[in-house]
Amino acid sequence: MVPFYCGFIGTYTQSSNSKSEGIYSFTLDAKTGEVEDLHLAARADNPSWLSLHPAGQCLYVVNELDDFNGKEKGGAVSVYSIKNDGSLDFINQKTTQGKSPCHLAINSGASYAIAANYYSGSITVFPLAHNGAINDPCQIIQFSGKGPNSLRQEAPHAHSFLFDKTCAFGLAMDLGTDRVMAYQFSSNTAEPLKPADVPWYNSLPGSGPRHGIFNPRGTCVYIVNEIDSTLNVLKYNSIDGSVINIQTISCLPENCKTQSTCAAVKISPDGNFVYVSNRGHDSITVFKVKRDDTLDFIDAISSGGRTPRDFGITPNGNYLLALNQDSDNLVVFHRDETSGCIEKKREYPVPAPVCVIFR
């Protein structure tokens, strides 16, 4: 059993009242859930999303900006090598050529990284070098359209990209048009992405698809909808990348009147429970996965702070770490692997935390 996990936390450095300086690292005792050596690992501008190289050698950081170094329109992706002691060394940085990138996915072969640009409504494809460095974009796909919510869906808003288990296909979540776009992926072509035979799935009007997670078998994908606080359960066809909706379920308790929006969705390592964070209701919702992959609502448990933008589950499944953006804290919960429920154990101050990842 691994005695400690090395973790990294992304933050907002440019939000109002933020005292963050960049990327933070920590170690977590796999047995007790205690966080140790929590410190600033690298100064960075708005490092709002973190992704790990499949071999664990590099950390990829999305800089959620509208202007790259004040010279070019768009945010950036920065790459750091991870030393044996968990410290970070800067490798390089490239602009996404799109405003406010907020997510990054890397294929299992570590040959490409795909960024989602929220305000530009586009996705950017980067080739990766053998040492993990990021090269200039080779493909940019611009989305089009809008949704019924004039405040949130006046234009396309790409929010994330998700490779399937084989990396033969990928899904892009467009919050602005209520579409989940499907793409065939090939690492042997100049432009790795092309629309799948069934190019998109339409979520409910005004729902706002944000993030997704596959079950361990890769046969089902759970898509969280930010605007209407629901979760879509989609049967996935790995032959052509198409999906069929088999359930839409609320992420909030019955008769809840609190204004709230969903953020993160994760699945337990054994695939038996799905979790969603609710900003406004400030909770983590627990769902039980049934044999047919549909979900039962179990409970919505306080996140221990305000605005839980992200959370992470330790690889052994014993702990869930919630990041509360507006109360500047990381909360460690013990997770019961039988019931799926979580219980708060301890908390730690972290300025404007918005993403957590384990090495």
- Average pLDDT, stretch 93-109? 98
Q: What is the pLDDT of residues 165-220, one digit of tens each?
A: 999 999 999 999 999 999 999 999 999 999 999 999 999 999 999 999 999 999 99
**Which of 209, 261, 229, 1 shows the shortest CA–CA distance to 103?**
209
CA distance linking residue 278 with residue 269, whole number of Å: 21
| DSSP-derived 3-state class of residue 250 | strand
Q: What is the pLDDT of residues 221-238, one digit of tens each?
A: 999 999 999 999 999 999
Boundaries of every domain in the chain: 4-358
Homologous superfamily in CATH for domain 4-358? YVTN repeat-like/Quinoprotein amine dehydrogenase (2.130.10.10)
Q: How far is CA 162 from CA 82, 108, 218, 253, in A?
A: 24, 12, 12, 28
Average pLDDT, the chain: 97
- Residue 15 has, within 13 A of its CA and on its CB side, a CA count of 19
